[in-house]
Structure 1
Amino acid sequence: MTRFLAALALLAFAFSPISVMAADVTHKVAIHVDQNDHQVMNMALNNAKNIDSYYNAKGETVEIELVAYGPGLMMLRDDKSPVKDRISAMSLEIDNISFSACGNTHRAMSKKEGKEVELLDEATMVPSGAVRLIELQEQGFAYIRP
């Protein structure tokens, strides 16, 4: 009887939601950049790299999205990004990283400068950076602000 109960307990654990989730889990993280500060930008990129390395070492996957708006959009400007080369390299190294640029900030910057502000090829325009962060959190993304 004891063996039967032990076997039953083992089967219950093996098919529990916790053990099934651990095998197929994809971690998700949104990293918020709203400052035109190269140290903050580099910290955000360091966070992304470290998070990716950690989960890769465990054999797990992670989806990382950096969202830039306000002064932080400088991070994704083709002409002024202090981390342009690093973003390009990381995009090649990390398959599951994306960069979202706030459309509201982009429109305001373009209007102020009297010309269309060019973004890095790696950047994807979203209507609003703040709204994008809300949507990502609603989809289960963890939130990090360096």
Structure 2
Amino acid sequence: MKTFATALIAALLVLSPLSAFAEGVNHKVAIHVDENDPQVMNMALNNAQNINSYYQSKGDTVEIELVAYGPGLVMLREDKSPVKDRISAMSLEMANLSFSACGNTHRNMSKAEGAEVALVSEASLVPSGVVRLIELQESGFSYIRP
């Protein structure tokens, strides 16, 4: 009976959530940008770098997705982004960082300007930035708004 109890306790420890800490944990973070303000854009990128550095130092992994819509879409515009070079550099350094551009905002900007608005190559177009944030949160992403 003692052997069975010992085996049961060992099995429970292996299957417990605490065992995940020994192997590293995967975190998921959504960062929201909806302002055409270089300070906010840089704060969002700082948050991404700091989050990545912190979890790397702990042996954990982290997936970071930055979602831009409304006036914040300027952050991902090829012609107007004040942080374009930084996005490019960070994308090369952090394979776990992605950028989502709101399709609704992109379509409206393109219509208003009479031509397709070019986005930085690191950006992926999603149908709706707001909906993307909802989907990310529903799939376990933590939400950050700088």
Aligned position for 1:16? 15
Distance, in Å, in 2 between the alignment partners of 1:39 and 1:7 is 57
Count of paired positions: 145
Distance, in Å, in 1 between the alignment partners of 2:48 and 2:89 is 13
Letter in structure 2 aligned against 1:96: N
1:137, distance to aligned residue in structure 2 (A): 0.3
Aligned position for 1:116? 116
Distance, in Å, in 2 between the alignment partners of 1:27 and 1:42 is 22
1:18, distance to aligned residue in structure 2 (A): 1.1
User: Deviations for 1:49-88, whole angstroms, at most 9, x for unmatched residues?
Assistant: 0000001111110000000000000000000000000000
Identity of aligned residues (%): 70
Contact in 1 for aligned 2:24/2:59 (Cα 8 Å): no
Aligned position for 2:56? 56
Listed as ranges, the matches of 1:21-60 within 5 Å are 21-22=20-21, 23-60=23-60
5+ residue gaps in structure 2? none
Contact in 1 for aligned 2:24/2:58 (Cα 8 Å): no
Contact in 2 for aligned 1:28/1:63 (Cα 8 Å): yes
Letter in structure 2 aligned against 1:19: L
Are 2:99 and 1:106 aligned? no
After superposition, the Cα gap between the structure-2 partners of 1:127 and 1:61, relative to the gap in structure 1 and judged at 3 Å, is same
5+ residue gaps in structure 1? none
Distance, in Å, in 2 between the alignment partners of 1:55 and 1:24 is 9
Structure 1 stretches of 4+ with a deviation exceeding 3 A read 6-10
TM-score computed with the length of structure 1 as normaliser: 0.91
User: Deviations for 1:69-127, whole angstroms, at most 9, x for unmatched residues?
Assistant: 00000000000000000000000000100000000000000000000000000000000
Structure 1 vs Structure 2 CA RMSD = 2.0
Aligned position for 2:85? 85
Distance, in Å, in 1 between the alignment partners of 2:133 and 2:19 is 28
